Amino acid sequence: MTTLQQLKQLIEASSDAELKSQALTLITTAETEVTGLGEEKVALLRKRDELLGKLNKFKKFEAHADVDIDELLQIKGRYESLDSESKSKYQELYDKDKTAFDKRLEQIEKERAQEKLDRENEQKTLAAEKLKTTTILELSKPEYNVFDPEQLFMLVGSQIRLSEAGKLVSGDEYKEVAIADFLGGLKDQPRYQNQFKANGANGSGSVPSQGSGGSGTVNPWKKESFNLTAQGRMMRENPTLAASMKAAARVK
């Protein structure tokens, strides 16, 4: 039995009718107020659960010390529970804190997007360096007879890639061409012939003396096979052949 119920029994037992009537009226009013408080308590509990849900939604931002989410939610909760007259006192504070929170949230999203972009660019750079190193090492093998592997990579590197199996190939995934076949095709193209050693060239890349225009010797002074690297090598190793090549290409 509650205190109000006990008080009501005592008043009903009283013989003073006027006092009894006034007391019962007061008790009825008190019971009504208690009922209203109960309903308000339920509403506050519902609002608390709603704010806790929002707090859990933003848990991932707790690491950022400059954003006090607990304080923001408390201010928001107090603001929404006020009447229209009292709300004006907290409107400016609420809007200010909410604006700061929104700006920080936007900044965090931009930082994360930039971090993702930086990681992707770094991965692309590492992949490009790996492809370059792997290709130059492969082109340096004696069976390919490449004069300058790094120079050849600069010319055709965009046509070479690493397959899923980690092998150097050319072409797309639907028609892959092995690196040996790709280089063989380059040798048949006049614009790339000067990138390969002639048959019988020694391991250092020097061209054997075969006289002017000897068979198998590419003239690095001609327009279709112009190559400054090969010119310099030939002038150092075989000045006579270099002179005849220049004359054949009509170079002074």
Which string of DSSP letters, residue by residue, matches 164-181? TTS-EEES-TTS-EEHHH
Amino acid (one-letter) located at 129? E
Report the C-alpha gap between 220 and 232 in whole angstroms. 10
Non-local (6+) Cβ contacts of 5 within 8 A are none
Q: What is the pTM of this model?
A: 0.41
- Across 15-29, 168-182, 228-242, the highest mean pLDDT is recorded for 168-182
Gap between the Cα atoms of 157 and 155, Å rounded? 6
Output the average pLDDT for the chain.
Answer: 76
Amino acid identity for residue 38 in this structure = G
Sheet hosting strand 168-170, strand order edge to edge: 160-162, 168-170, 177-178
pLDDT tens-digit profile of 149-207? Answer: 999 999 999 999 998 888 999 987 778 899 999 998 888 888 888 898 875 444 444 43
- Helix, strand, coil percent values for the chain (each to nearest 5): 70, 5, 25
Tokens of 235: 């002038």
Secondary element (H or E) of residue 162: strand 160-162
Per-residue pLDDT of 76-109, as tens digits, reads 676 667 666 666 666 777 777 788 888 888 999 9
